[in-house]
Amino acid sequence: QVRLVESGGGLVQTGGSLRLSCAAAGTFISINAMGWYRQAPGKQRALVATITSGGSTNYADSVKGRFTISRDNSKNTVYLQMNSLKPEDTAVYYCNAGVLSTLEFSYYWGQGTQVTVSS
């Protein structure tokens, strides 16, 4: 069984910064791509950023230049550094990872962490 444990959300003022972390725990062979998604009230869950095991990144246009995704493969952890935060960044942020276990390849989600940006 694989679990993704997120941390780092909170309340911040416009222009502030937060850093989210997501660590994969459990028994598995390897982790492929990891990413962050967010869901604002009344909206669908949307991609924020992804990173492959080799370090290639992809960002939503709305966060380019402000957010940075990174990962530490030795710790099975992905990070999201969020700078110049705006009220429209307010959402529940979810970590996602593609994980290869002995039986299958599956995608897993974290429990979500709330990010609130006040104006």
Do residues 75 and 22 touch, judged by C-beta distance below 8 A?
no
Number of helices (H) and strands (E) in the chain: give both, helices first.
0, 11
Position 36 scores a pLDDT of 98
* Structural contact between residues 12 and 87, judged by C-beta atoms closer than 8 angstroms: no
Rounded-to-integer distance, Cα 13 and Cα 16, Å: 6
What is the rounded distance in angstroms from the CA atom of residue 2 to the CA atom of residue 95?
A: 13
Contact, 86 vs 65, CB < 8 A? no
The residues that bridge with 21 in the sheet, in sequence order, are 7, 79
Written as tens digits, the pLDDT of the chain (119 aa) is 899 999 999 999 999 999 999 999 999 999 999 999 999 999 999 999 999 999 999 999 999 999 999 999 999 999 999 999 999 999 999 999 999 998 899 999 999 999 999 99
Residue 38 to residue 18: CA distance in whole angstroms: 14
